[in-house]
């Protein structure tokens, strides 16, 4: 139960959410039950998305649900504009990326662990400065990606080495067969802290909902922090969890 885990529940003002696996199936729109639950929560709390993807991708996936969004681990921030029904950009940070260095690092890991066969590009670079190491390549077939590491054990076995190889990045076990990397200083906890400071929320007034809180998960930084965390083991359970706060 949420209230058993969060002794400050009566103080809550801000509810923050991961999207994929928490509110919806991966890369899928919100189901009606989740959308209705968010709408009900918004009457009592301020709601905030804190995602790994871009704000535009999150806003589109949520089919323009009226909510503020932090994207790219805190590198982007949009607020919902009720007059236009759009997501208005507050800021969008970019960090320079030395592509040659990152390619060399990925190649070293490929040689070391035998990931030398891949489809498409060996490294994916994002405009923000984030980097993805797609073990099977950027053009791998979906069935191959799904079968590669369904329980994440293969990637978690080498996570420490990948972290050491990319000391200037936060490293996450991403998607089905990748490592995602955000520039140092950008993770979900740091993003929440900056948002809280800018909007006068104390940490005991925040509750975060996430599913990816194991080793290398992109919600792990919040899970291990002083901010209350509600684990979501199945996105279909979110409406019931939300009901506890209504």
| pLDDT tens for each residue of 185-209 | 999 999 999 999 999 999 999 999 9
Q: In what order do the strands lie in the sheet with 124-125?
A: 124-125, 131-134, 178-183, 169-174
Chain mean pLDDT for the chain: 95
**Is 130's pLDDT higher than 80?**
yes
Q: Among 123, 238, 71, which Cα is nearest to 115's?
A: 123
Range list of H helices, 48-206: 55-61, 99-113, 142-148, 153-157, 159-165, 188-199
Q: What percent of the chain has pLDDT over 70?
A: 96
- Helix/strand number for the chain, H first, E second: 10, 11
| pLDDT tens for each residue of 13-51 | 999 999 999 999 988 999 999 999 999 999 999 999 999
Half-sphere exposure of 42 (CA within 13 A, CB side): 15
* pLDDT confidence bin for 5, thresholds 50/70/90: very low
**Kind and range of the H or E element at 38?**
helix 32-42
Residues whose CB falls within 8 Å of the CB of residue 98, separated by 6 or more in sequence, listed in order: none
Q: Whole-prediction pTM value?
A: 0.92
Q: Tokens 């979110």 appear where?
A: 238
Task: Supply the pLDDT for residue 197.
Answer: 97
Average pLDDT over residues 50-78: 97
**Is 118's pLDDT higher than 80?**
yes
Q: Among 86, 91, 24, 32, which Cα is nearest to 59's?
A: 86
| pLDDT tens for each residue of 133-180 | 999 999 999 999 999 999 999 999 999 999 999 999 999 998 899 999
């Amino acid at each position: 139960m949420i209230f058993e885990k969060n002794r400050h529940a009566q103080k809550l003002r801000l509810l923050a959410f991961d999207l994929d696996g928490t509110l919806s199936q991966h890369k899928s729109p919100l189901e009606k039950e989740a959308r209705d639950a968010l709408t009900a929560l918004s009457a009592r709390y301020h709601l905030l998305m804190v995602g790994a993807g871009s704000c535009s991708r999150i806003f589109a996936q949520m089919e323009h649900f009226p909510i503020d969004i932090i994207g790219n681990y805190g590198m982007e921030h949009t607020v919902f504009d009720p007059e236009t029904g759009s997501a208005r950009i507050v800021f969008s940070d970019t960090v320079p990326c030395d592509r040659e260095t990152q390619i060399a690092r990925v190649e070293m890991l490929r040689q070391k662990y035998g990931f030398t066969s891949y489809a498409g590009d060996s490294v994916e670079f994002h405009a923000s400065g984030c980097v993805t190491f797609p073990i099977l390549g950027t053009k791998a077939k979906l069935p191959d990606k799904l079968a590669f590491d369904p329980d994440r054990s293969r990637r978690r076995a080498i996570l420490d080495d990948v972290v050491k190889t990319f000391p200037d990045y936060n490293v996450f076990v991403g998607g089905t067969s990748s490592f995602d990397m955000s520039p140092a200083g950008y993770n979900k906890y740091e993003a929440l802290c900056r948002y809280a400071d800018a909007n006068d929320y104390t940490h005991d007034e925040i509750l975060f909902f996430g599913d990816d809180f194991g080793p290398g998960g992109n919600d792990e930084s919040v899970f291990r922090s002083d901010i209350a965390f509600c684990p979501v083991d199945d996105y279909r359970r979110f409406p019931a969890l939300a009901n506890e706060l209504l």
